[in-house]
Homo-oligomer: A and B are copies of this chain.
């Protein structure tokens, strides 16, 4: 993002070097990591936390390193670049499978409800972080992929009627708009609104795309 490179071209110099000491101990579930593997893990944890709470630009490699008790140079050695560190640590987990699973009837409301109810903080902060960092080509693409994988691909084949693929994509767009308001712009009114009513109202509009 910064230095010594021509502004628009991005060259990845060396790949993220996974420490050799890193092997899955087949035994314990909670592995006591040693040496480099432990350091890498510490960096990863620190990065996840900082990227969730700070802006991309403000979560500095030096901050991450210090929080992990490691040297900034190690961060780059292990992950290649700050951008790759971001990509490896900030991710969506399986997110809407549950809500997605049910019948088409009432799906709109169920999705919105799932979005609001649970502790979706992890997903929210991932979306927020990627959205704000979407000036980076790779991150932008990654977010776009995630949207397609999570919504469009599972949904499109199930929709009946014309423009199924388009409508599936627009379902995702409509949801994105809601997350924008709640998680990125932190609209106080939106946050204060009764979840159930919000699910009903916005879910109904979603349903209009699902079953026109």
Give Cα A184–Cα B143 distance, bound, in whole angstroms.
Answer: 11
Find out whether the CB atom of B185 lies under 8 angstroms from the CB atom of A169: no
By size class, the interface of chain A is 35 or more
26 examples of A-B residue contacts, CB within 8 angstroms: A55-B136, A58-B135, A131-B131, A131-B132, A131-B184, A132-B133, A132-B135, A134-B184, A140-B184, A144-B186, A147-B185, A163-B201, A166-B193, A166-B198, A166-B201, A167-B201, A169-B181, A169-B187, A170-B201, A170-B202, A173-B177, A173-B180, A174-B177, A176-B180, A177-B177, A177-B178
> Per DSSP, are chain A's interface residues mostly helix, strand or loop, or mixed?
helix
Q: A177-B177, A189-B169 are in contact. Are A1 and B58 (CB under 8 A)?
A: yes
- A69 in the interface (beta carbon within 8 A): no
Shortest Cβ gap from A141 to chain B (Å):
9
| Copies of this protein in the complex | 2
